Structure 1
Amino acid sequence: MSRILVIEDEASIRRVLIKILTEENKNYTVEEAEDGLSGMEKIKNEDYDLVLCDIKMPKMDGVEVLEATKKVKPEIPFVMISGHGDIETAVNTMKIGAFDYISKPPDLNRLLNTVRIALDRKELVTENKRLKKKVGKNYKMVGESEEIKQIKNIIEKVAPTDARVLITGDNGTGKELVAHWIHQKSERSKGPMIEVNCAAIPSELIESELFGHVKGAFTSANKDRAGKFEAANGGTIFLDEIGDMSLSAQAKVLRALQEKKISRVGSDKDIKVDVRVIAATNKNLSEEIKGKKFREDLYHRLAVILIDVPELNERRNDIPLLVKHFAEKIAEEQGTPAKEFSEKALTLLQEYDWTGNIRELRNVVERLIILGGKKIEEQDVKLFASK
């Protein structure tokens, strides 16, 4: 159900608006307020998905209601209702944050279309906030070792800038997590973060995946398609395992970094893109450059800031914190109480050789929670965590 508030001092117009909305959609719950002051009280005390607000009203006009609402509940979309002489004011309210305005008497189709679009946008904003909270939970950087403190310090300094970052480290160390932290703490956090696993895409398709293609560019190109760079416009693109990217694709990425524009496969039309690039690799790119498998000029473009993520074996003191974090997260996912790990169990886990790094530790913790007792003891670790 969508809750809509109509703030209008003319009773006849209120009745028309309520009738139109409730007859159009049974999922609309419409409430009314006869002036700006009473409307503002309702907004403060209730949750609405949309407000239709007249501009000229006694006690408190529509502009004042809009300004006051933006301070307390900025996510509520406002559609202003304007008389003939209020059009200029209505347009100015959009600069303050109104979604749109509708002239009196309201045109039926225009009104319903505007309401639908405004409610869709509100739902999208709400969903984006929910996803950001979820992403924030999933990408929590856990650890108090000197290595992790150093990485956190670098992220705090580099995130607010647009500097390109190259993240290096073995598989499973948490390179993706570092990339997400940089994006979340940046000015681009409201924009998209698009991930591309360069190793998982066949070399003949990587250019199309990154830059898109036009219809007829190759056999299966049945329609125009935007690529990942366009999708990331205004945000961040994370090129994971960039060491596996083909040389021809590397050349196009280099151009995108140099000129801030790309062209789709099969097209000579340039498309401007505003994208921050974060790359990651588990390969030694210096060796790849010597072997003519990676472009040196691209490396220098990407490696403005270098972050090397240590192996878990190099930060064993963080293992108890990571175990606790994973145990709580797994319990939340499964809807069960979090299991406690004994000191001896944690000590034994710290002694293991974690060749699979944090990813392997997470799998072992989940295995112990499923197969171990109410409290995970040293014996459980010996039984179920051994390789």
Structure 2
Amino acid sequence: RRGRERFVQVNCAALPEELIESELFGHERGAFTGATQKQIGKFEQADRGTIFLDEVGDMSLRTQAKVLRVLQEGEVERLGSARTIEIDARVIAATNRNLEEAIDSAVFREDLYFRLSVIPIRVPPLRDRNEDIPRLVEHFATLFCKENNFKPKHFTSSALDLMSNERWRGNVRELRNTVERLMAMTDGKTIDVAEVRGVLRREPRSGSAAEEAGRTGTLREFKELAEREFLVSKLREHGWNISKTAGMIDTPRSNMYKKMEHYRISQDADG
């Protein structure tokens, strides 16, 4: 039955702390400065359907407490309203963080963890299931052509073998970006080993950004290497808590998330 109803997606890591509660639970007109009209929250939108909470491990403890109440009581309360609204939504949550470690570090609620992990599904990193890569390449290539009105291009078996042996530290996101880049940048109708090698990212070197300076060709490259190294070191220092790290380096959490995606920083690869 729910499959015919709405599927509502929320990226918890991309929403600033001051906005996430309004996005999830909604608000009434005048609830806060800038609230010029009523907004229906994501949980309310997903009533009788499904809500997908992506990067749920990046929610603050305050927001976690309110999400827990929704799961326990089956009701939400818009910001600026005293009225409770009953909802019936299936909740799917995902995270790339180790929530057991987050619980031990007191940054994730244990009661919320048990509420969410009714049927846990652990997805192994892409490097541990390289037999899926040819099918994923075909899927992303077909999707790219459909969305951008591109003519299909053929990946040779040698190109697929090379891609299947790559580590893909950014997992499926990195693979999809690579496929889209190959589709857009390759002139001919066939994508072979040479084209794939041209876009695969370089393996990280063991030296610091300062040591890399002599190997990079431009000032911009050096600055990017230094920024990536700085972000990784701060994330390690704060146990890969994105919210805490963003606060300590004085940048919005949404910007921190964008930087991590831009530099393909992940705990699996850089932890």
TM-score by length of 2: 0.69
* 1:375 aligned partner: 190
CA apart distance, 1:386: 4.5
Which structure features the higher share of strand residues?
1
Which of 51, 68, 71 does residue 254 from structure 1 map onto?
68
Instruction: Note the 1:123-202 alignment, pairs <5 A.
Output: 187-202=1-16
In structure 2, the partner of 1:307 is 121
CA distance in 1, matches of 2:156, 2:85: 57
Conserved 8 A contact 1:213-1:226 = yes
Which letter does structure 2 place at the counterpart of 1:374?
K
Structure 1 position 363, deviation (Å): 1.8
In structure 2, which of residues 44, 47, 50 is the aligned counterpart of residue 233 of structure 1?
47
Q: Percent identity?
A: 54
Match of 2:134 among 305, 320, 325: 320
* Secondary structure, counterpart of 2:4 in structure 1: coil
Q: Is 1:217 equivalent to 2:35 in the alignment?
A: no
Could you say which structure has the larger radius of gyration?
1
Decide whether aligned partners of structure 1 residues 386 and 285 sit closer, same or farther in structure 2, where only a CA change above 3 A counts: closer
Match of 1:344 in 2: 158
Deviations 1:168-203 (A, max 9, x none): xxxxxxxxxxxxxxxxxxx20121111111111121
Contact 1:263 1:271 in 2 (8 A): yes
Q: Which has the higher contact order (CA 8 A, sep 6+)?
A: 2
| Structure 2 unpaired stretches of 5+ | 203-271
Contact 1:195–1:239 (CA<8 Å) still a contact in 2?
A: yes
**In structure 2, what is the equivalent of residue 384 of structure 1?**
199
**CA distance 1:249–1:320, change in 2 (3 Å):** same
For structure 1, list consecutive stretches of 5 or more residues without a partner in the other structure: 1-186
Once the 2 structures are TM-superposed, how far is the Cα of residue 217 of structure 1 from its aligned partner?
2.4
Q: Distance in 2 between matches of 1:205 and 1:334?
A: 32
Q: State the partner residue of 2:238.
A: none
**SS of the residue 1:205 aligns to:** helix
Number of residues of Structure 1 aligned to a counterpart in Structure 2:
201
Per-residue CA deviation, residues 18-50 of structure 1 (Å, 9 max, x unaligned), is xxxxxxxxxxxxxxxxxxxxxxxxxxxxxxxxx
Deviation at residue 361 of structure 1 after TM alignment: 1.4
Q: What amino acid is aligned across from residue 10 of structure 2 in structure 1?
A: V
Q: Distance in 1 between matches of 2:142 and 2:13?
A: 32
Distance 1:250 1:237 in 2: 15
* Contact 1:368–1:385 (8 Å) recurs in 2: no
Letter in 1 for 2:89: V
Inter-partner Cα distance in structure 1 for 2:150 and 2:34: 47
**Is the Cα–Cα contact under 8 Å of residues 152 and 189 in structure 2 kept in the other structure?**
no
Q: Given the superposition, is the C-alpha separation of residues 386 and 269 from structure 1 closer, same or farther in structure 2, using an over 3 Å criterion? A: closer
**SS of equivalent residue, structure 1 residue 238:** strand
Q: Supply the distance in 1 between the matched residues of 2:163 and 2:59 (Cα, whole angstroms).
A: 36
